[in-house]
């Protein structure tokens, strides 16, 4: 018996034992590698920048409500948080399930270890919303021990959702800040933790570099007064935007 079947049987056992009714799976599809392009209509490049390896998408009916569950496998919990952080907007509830999560009028999104999970309930009904926490736990464990590493240098406390983004490459960076994109275009970095400061039309960014020499290159490009903290492999700066970002992306967060 293969591992996938064993896992499926165990999941069904847990579902029936805990809740008495397993979701009815109307359709299930699995996409890997370049197969993501056809499914995501051109949106795959951003996910591939974070190293997505697989997407499992299911259309289910649970307790009389329809849901679409998308589970993306990412290399690390930080990558899962990064892609999650680009897709959440206007959380009505954040980081309350023991993990990183965001509830919106039609969607619950979460980071579960190295998985980014999206559960959409198109009806937007209160009944569908009331069951969505229960449903997501049937498919992924929500364990705070597997939460992504948030750098202490940022000085943030929970909730992180809606405050913090992790940017991995030019696609994600240019999507949030052109001034930051210009700053790091010739810098070798592994990730940038980004906090918008919209009242001041600026941001804070913790730039993690792949080589300590890159810190010196960054310092030469940043005003000394804009350097908040530095280390052997990172630089925390404040930056300034030239254009106002548009932040209203609708209820689904797409």
Q: How would you class 119 by CB atoms within 10 Å of its CB: exposed for 0-12, middle for 13-18, buried for 19 or more? A: buried
17 and 139 both lie in a single domain: yes
pLDDT (0 to 100) of residue 109: 97
CATH code where residue 61 lies: 3.40.1000
Phi, psi for 203 (deg, rounded to 5): -165, 165
Domain contains 34: yes
How large is the average pLDDT for residues 17-36? 81
pLDDT (0 to 100) of residue 20: 52
Residue 200: which domain range?
A: 169-240
Instruction: Considering only residues 14 and 201, tell me which one the structure prediction assigns the higher pLDDT.
Output: 201
SS3 assignment, position 38: helix
142 and 173 both lie in a single domain: no
pLDDT (0 to 100) of residue 142: 86
d(C-alpha 218, C-alpha 156), whole Å: 23
The answer to whether residue 216 scores a pLDDT higher than 90 is yes
To 5 degrees, how large is the angle CA 21–CA 23–CA 27? 155
Region of 201 please: left (phi>0), alpha (psi -120 to 50) or beta: left
CB-CB contact of 179 with 207 (8 Å): no
**Token pair 């909730």: residue:** 159
pLDDT (0 to 100) of residue 245: 44
Domain contains 251: no
Domain contains 125: yes
pLDDT (0 to 100) of residue 1: 52
Domain count within the chain = 2
CB-CB contact of 45 with 172 (8 Å): no
Q: Tens digit of pLDDT for each residue in 220-237?
A: 999 999 999 999 999 999
Q: Tens digit of pLDDT for each residue in 60-109?
A: 999 999 999 999 999 999 999 999 999 998 899 999 998 999 999 999 99
How large is the average pLDDT for residues 38-47? 81
Phi, psi for 39 (deg, rounded to 5): -75, -35
Characterize 77-110 residue by residue with b for buried, 16 or more Cβ atoms within 10 angstroms of its Cβ, and e for exposed.
bbbbbbbbbbbbbebeebbebbbbbbbbebbbbb
Q: Tens digit of pLDDT for each residue in 141-186?
A: 887 788 999 999 999 999 999 999 999 999 999 999 999 999 999 9
Contacts with 243 (C-beta within 8 Å, 6 or more apart), sequence order: 178
Partners of residue 194 on adjacent β-strands:
165, 205
pLDDT (0 to 100) of residue 36: 83
128 and 176 both lie in a single domain: no
121 and 197 both lie in a single domain: no
Contacts with 26 (C-beta within 8 Å, 6 or more apart), sequence order: 59, 60, 61
Instruction: Out of 96, 113, 146, pick the residue that ends a domain.
Output: 146
Closest CA to 243 of 198, 205, 193: 198
The answer to whether residue 16 scores a pLDDT higher than 80 is no
CB-CB contact of 78 with 115 (8 Å): no
Domain contains 161: no
């Amino acid at each position: 018996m293969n591992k996938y079947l064993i896992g499926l049987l165990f999941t069904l056992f847990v579902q029936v034992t805990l809740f008495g009714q397993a979701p009815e799976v109307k359709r299930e599809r699995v996409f890997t590698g370049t197969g993501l392009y056809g499914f995501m209509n051109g949106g795959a490049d951003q996910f591939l920048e974070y190293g997505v390896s697989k997407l499992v998408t299911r259309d289910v009916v649970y307790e009389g409500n329809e849901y679409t569950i998308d589970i993306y496998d990412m290399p690390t919990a930080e990558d899962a948080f990064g892609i999650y952080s680009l897709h959440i907007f206007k959380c009505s509830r954040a980081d309350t399930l023991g993990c990183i999560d965001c509830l919106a009028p039609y969607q619950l999104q979460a980071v579960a270890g190295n998985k980014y999970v999206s559960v959409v309930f198109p009806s937007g009904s209160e009944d569908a919303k009331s069951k969505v926490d229960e449903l997501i736990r049937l498919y992924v464990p929500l364990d705070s021990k597997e939460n992504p590493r948030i750098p202490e240098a940022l000085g943030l406390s929970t909730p992180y959702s809606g405050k913090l983004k992790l940017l991995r490459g030019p696609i994600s960076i240019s999507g949030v800040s052109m001034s930051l994109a210009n700053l790091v275009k010739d810098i070798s970095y592994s990730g940038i933790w980004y906090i918008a400061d919209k009242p001041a039309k600026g941001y804070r960014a913790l730039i993690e570099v792949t080589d300590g020499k890159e810190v010196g290159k960054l310092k030469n490009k940043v005003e000394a007064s804009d350097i908040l903290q530095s280390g052997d492999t990172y630089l925390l700066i404040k930056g300034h935007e030239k254009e106002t970002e548009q932040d209203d992306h609708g209820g689904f967060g797409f």
